[in-house]
Structure 1
Amino acid sequence: MQGIFSSCRRRTLWVGALAVIALYIWAFYYFFVGPFGFRWRAIYGEPKYPDGYEIRGIDISHYQGDINWTLLQNAMIEKCPVRFIMIKGTEGSTRIDPYFEENFRQAREYGFIRGVYHFWSNKSSARDQAYFFLNKVKLQSGDLPPVLDVEHKPKDVSVEDFRRDILTWLHIVEDRYHVKPIIYTYHKFKMSYLSDPVFDDYPYWIAHYYVDEVKYNGPWKFWQHTDAGRLPGIKGYVDFNIYNGSYYDLKQLTIPK
């Protein structure tokens, strides 16, 4: 009888130990690997960069901190020079990126084609956000069209009203610069909320990571394919982008004189 109890006790201990190990593995994946999967891929192997594109660029904000522009000027992405830089300018109707003015000035001084994006906020009206952007960001000829970064829809607003708000921002900014603003968003958001034909005339900048090609079937200008890039002159990670065209085409997209 004692042997039977000992055997059951050992079995119970083994089952308990396996359960603890399984729980540990699940927790490790859920809290560390799952939310930052791209980070692990970047650590254990360089992300696969899209083939067939030569015009490369990055986008930056205060997250990159102080940039060594001399080093960045000669940086290469897959043997291609960095041609353009998208810079965060404003957010909502009250926030300006603390590094915007410095990044904006240095990007042109070091010979990059520069663009500026506004991060959409659901807490401010479209008109307030548009005029705040226009007040704080002074684009010049040779700069890329203004960019609207939209990634979230308020839960209490219908899709139709949300689209109307986005169009309000786009129309106000377009009236100032007389060029179609660029819309930045990720693939699923585009398909869910911005699939109306009214947005088809706007250039798209699509975020879609770790895929061989953009799954969006419509025309697009820019593709943000990873946010785990590394470059000399920038500490930590930076987003890598490609332009869907030639360098001449990219120049033609910029604001004319």
Structure 2
Amino acid sequence: MVPPFLFLLLSFMADKKPRTTTTRRKPASRPTAPVARRGKKKSKERIMPAWLRTILAVCIIAVFSAGFYWFFIRPYAYRWKPCAGQKGYGVCMPCDYEVHGIDISHYQGSIDWVQLTSNKASKFPIHFVFMKATEGGDHGDDTFPFNFDQARRYGFIRGAYHFFSPKTDPNKQADFFIRTVQLTTGDLPPVLDVETIGKSTPHDLKIAVKTWLDRVEAHYGVKPILYTSYKFKSRFLNDSVFNTYPYWIAHYYVDSVKYEGPWHFWQHTDVGNVPGIKEEVDLNVFNGTLEDLRALTLQK
């Protein structure tokens, strides 16, 4: 590190011009035209006024601030709103529904089912658990077999879902789900999770989704549940044929469901904190009574 006094001395010497005893003369051979041209060039250069730089800086900051709010704050603003109702599992709960549940996959890691069962006696008891079983044509969730057995063992109404891949043959996906999931009396109907269109056209996606639904319904003898966000459904699955299936709507950080059609399940948040599960988990409600939920399950 340079001592302060030395730093000042060096600065002083650098700023001070050297003294000369002779007068510098302009070389006779040096042309005068370039000097004139340089003078003209300098005269054409314009310096942006300070007030204009300030306005541009303010505009840039405003644009970036608006973009940050729109993409990173606005979608989650509901998290910081004062809870008008009651809090449960770390979030503001929809209090108009009596039947609550969760959906899980390998992302939730190892689950303490004994501790999870204690939530049945809480203010918002958990009655049903959906579990990811399969994805695409050959990817199974490693935690599904164990969790599916534990859910039945500890008295939860259980369900299984398949994550749909638009690029994979729908019959292959349906057969993979059927081989993986053995539903029995008291289980919820199979669920098709559709969240992406990939490179398919909306027309092709509708055909593929309907193919999966038909194949699975023929095997289990019950109409599958269709899971997707209300925006995705309105944009890509806006055919009346899909309104005949029980609908599980994904709609986060809102006070109520904005979808105008009928629905059965509402996934209202993905940041729930449930005793027995270390990771954040999706929370759901059923649009009906516990008896209505049991009536929706497989009866044979």
TM range (shorter): 0.7 to 0.9
Instruction: For 1:142-153, list aligned pairs within 5 A.
Output: 142-153=186-197
Aligned counterparts of 1:220 and 1:139: Cα–Cα separation in 2: 23
- 1:194 is aligned to 2:237: yes
Whether the 8 Å CA contact 2:230–2:251 is kept in 1: the answer is yes
When residues 25 and 122 of structure 1 are mapped into structure 2, their CA distance, relative to the original with a 3 A threshold, is same
212, 216, 224: which is aligned to 1:181? 224
1:132 matched residue in structure 2: 176
Q: Does 1:108 align with 2:136?
A: no
The one of 245, 248, 256 aligned to 2:291: 248
Structure-1 separation of matches of 2:209 and 2:186: 25
Letter in 2 for 1:197: S
Q: 1:19-76: CA deviations, max 9, x gaps?
A: 99889978976896578x379649x995322121000000000010000000000115
The DSSP-based 3-state class of the residue aligned with 2:204 is: helix
Amino acid at match of 2:294: K
1:154: how far off? 2.5
**Conservation of the 8 A alpha-carbon contact between 2:94 and 2:255:** yes
Partner of 2:274: 231
Distance of 1:219 and 1:91 partners within structure 2: 27
Give 2:41's aligned residue. Answer: none
In our comparison, the structure showing a higher alpha carbon Rg is 2
Aligned residues of 1:122 and 1:152 also touching (Cα < 8 A):
yes
2:117 equivalent to 1:73: yes
Q: How many residues align?
A: 246
Q: Which residue type is aligned with residue 235 of structure 2?
A: S
Greater relative CO (CA pairs within 8 A, separation 6+): 1
Q: In 2, are the aligned partners of 1:69 and 1:110 still within 8 Å (CA)?
A: yes
Distance 1:205 1:156 in 2: 23
Match of 2:12 in 1: none
Aligned to 1:56: 100
Q: Does residue 1:82 correspond to 2:126, yes or no?
A: yes
State whether residues 47 and 210 of structure 1, in contact with CA within 8 Å, keep that contact through their aligned partners in structure 2.
no
Taking structure 1 as the reference length, what is the TM-score of the superposition?
A: 0.84
Distance in 1 of aligned mates of 2:121 and 2:242: 31
Gaps of at least 5 residues in structure 2 are: 1-48
5+ unaligned residues in a row in structure 1: which ranges?
A: 1-7
Counterpart code for 2:145:
E
2 CA distance for matches of 1:103 and 1:230? 18
Within 5 Å, give how 1:163-178 maps onto structure 2.
Answer: 163-178=206-221
Superposed CA RMSD: 2.9
Identity %: 50
Give the whole-Å Cα distance in 1 for the aligned partners of 2:276 and 2:91.
20
Question: Deviations along 1:140-184, whole A, 9 cap, x unmatched?
Answer: 111000000001113342x22211110000000000111000000
TM-score, length of structure 2 as denominator length: 0.73
